[in-house]
Amino acid sequence: MTPQETNAYMKEKMGFLPRMFATVNQIAPPAGQTFADFYAVIFGNGALPQKIKELMFMSTGVAYCSPRCIIHVVPAIEAGASDAEIFEAASVGMIAAGFVPGGPGIPYAFEYAAKCMDIAAKYRAGEEWEYLPAPKFNRGVY
């Protein structure tokens, strides 16, 4: 597959294209394809529906203040998550942040919960959104 085909494949399989793979796919498209297949197995519908798994991962991102994990709000939306579900999952992550040993704490995680809602609103409106500034070495690849 070409890098462009791999990017499209990842969007189809995962519901989004991780920024790091937009870069990796320029060098090693098979890695992106393999990761997308792995992701589809882990996050696909099973005993738990994909929507719940994506919300769980997003919630973990809030708890650990990980901007790269809160991006899972996008595939959660693609899997049918409502704003109310996103808010509740982000709230659980915010509270969990207070119990993560050596973790960030609730006041910091609150900002990540709010960012999840911001991403969701902009994504639904078809507007540009950002979860983390692009790295300078990226050379324009998103």
Tens digit of each residue's pLDDT (9 = 90 or more) over 27-67: 999 999 999 999 999 999 999 999 999 999 999 999 999 98
- CA nearest neighbour of 25 among 34, 15, 16: 34
How many C-beta neighbours within 10 Å does residue 62 have? 30
d(CA 140, CA 120): 24
**Domain spans, the chain:** 1-43, 46-129
For residues 102-130, average pLDDT: 92
Q: What is the pTM of this model?
A: 0.86
| pLDDT for 67 | 87
Q: Tell me: the pLDDT tens digits for 117-141?
A: 999 999 999 998 887 766 565 555 5
Q: What is the CATH number of domain 46-129?
A: 1.20.1290.10
pLDDT for position 33: 96
